[in-house]
Amino acid sequence: MTNEALHLHAVGAEPLVVAADVRKRFGSVEVLKGISLQVAKGEVLSIIGPSGSGKSTFLRCINQLERLDGGAIFVGGELIGYRRVGDKLHELVDAEIARQRRSIGMVFQRFNLFPHLTVTENITEGPVQVLRERPGEARDHAHALLERVGLGEKRDAYPSELSGGQQQRVAIARALAMRPKLILFDEPTSALDPELVGEVLTVMRDLAASGMTMIVVTHELGFARDVCQRVAFMDRGQIVEIGEPRHVLGQPTQKRTQEFISMVRT
């Protein structure tokens, strides 16, 4: 039994996400060199590592913002980006990809809010246009989500009237509005001033406590240590080390992991 299988057996959960030998190349540069891991339903996994190690690219592959050059990804038991016919794989058409994306939320470094829409309109756009929710129902849900992220009083504000931390919390509410079974966070605090980081991490901690499955690319080692069930350290397109935070962050076995953690803490 592999370490990944042993982990899932220990937590008593079926994998929600399965990545098998995932590879991605940009021109002559191989950015992902055979990434394999599994994430259980309700688990929070942090991915740490230096810039350029392939962390964000891996998230983008899960959400089909990048096409794989090798390997496979399954979410909820469904092969992402392809359908199997006999022994052959066929790429999905755009409509099928859009359907798969509905169950996967993603929060980016930059907030990507529509500047001409209010906070409420930013959140309801997806549910109304994609999920075909009734506008009133979508609006009520958006207001409830804004209360959840501590921004109930900002429902009619425009993005330009918000701080960076507030905009990122709106982005989280927008992802939740699609009722995803998985949320990907791509360094969600890296673009924020230091004093605004805490308010976003608080929302993410509450979200993790609610049982949401999350994969978080981050340099916030405190969050990884306190909130995540496991931490994966990536370098040069490979997972160098993966395990419980107390092991990977507290007693890493690989020299490259040790060097990185020492530099981040300095």
Per-residue model confidence as pLDDT tens digits over 211-243: 999 999 999 999 999 999 999 999 999 999 999
Question: Given a cut of 80, is residue 79 above it in pLDDT?
Answer: yes
Residue showing tokens 């688990």:
43
Confidence of residue 51 (pLDDT cuts 50, 70, 90): very high
- Are 223 and 46 in contact, with CB atoms under 8 Å apart? yes
Rounded Cα distance between 18 and 27, Å, is 26
| CATH number of the domain within which 53 lies | 3.40.50.300
Domain boundary among the residues 179, 207, 223 is at 179
CA proximity to 54, closest of 225, 253, 240, 255 = 240
User: What does the mean pLDDT of the chain come to?
Assistant: 91
Looking at the structure of the chain, the number of domains it has is 2
Residue 86 pLDDT > 90, yes or no? no
Q: Write down which residue in 179, 196, 216 finishes a domain.
A: 179
Closest by CA position to 190, among listed 180, 179, 200? 200
Residues 80 and 26 placed together within one structural domain of the fold: yes
108 in a structural domain = no
pLDDT: which is higher, 2 or 116: 116
Whether residues 34 and 162 share a domain: the answer is: no
Here the tokens at position 194 are 């230091």
State the pLDDT at residue 94.
87
Beta strands 44-48 and 29-40, pairing class: unpaired
Among 125, 159, 179, where does a domain finish?
179
Q: If you write DSSP's letter for every residue of 77-128 in order, what string do you get?
A: TEESSEEEETTEEEEPPHHHHHHHHTTEEEE-SS----TTS-HHHHHHHHHH
The region of weakest confidence among 56-60, 191-195, 219-223 is 191-195
Residue-range definition of the domain harbouring residue 246: 3-103+180-265
Residues 235 and 246 placed together within one structural domain of the fold = yes
Residue 79, in any domain of the structure: yes
* Whether 144 and 57 share a structural domain: no
- pLDDT tens-place string over residues 123-153: 999 999 999 999 999 999 999 999 999 999 9
pLDDT band (50, 70, 90) for residue 112: confident
Same domain, yes or no: 30 and 156? no
CA distances from 196 to 17, 92, 201, 235 (A): 31, 40, 9, 28
Q: pLDDT over 70 for what percent of the chain?
A: 94
Q: How far apart are CA 54 and CA 236, in angstroms?
A: 7
Q: Does 82 reside within a domain?
A: yes
254 in the same domain as 191: yes
Full-model pTM:
0.91
CA distances from 44 to 61, 206, 231 (A): 18, 12, 9
The answer on pLDDT for 189 being more than 70 is yes
* 98 within some domain: yes
Residue 223 belongs to a domain: yes
Same domain, yes or no, for 87 and 128? no
pLDDT tens per residue, range 2-35: 455 444 444 456 799 999 999 999 999 999 999 9
**Do 150 and 247 belong to one domain?**
no
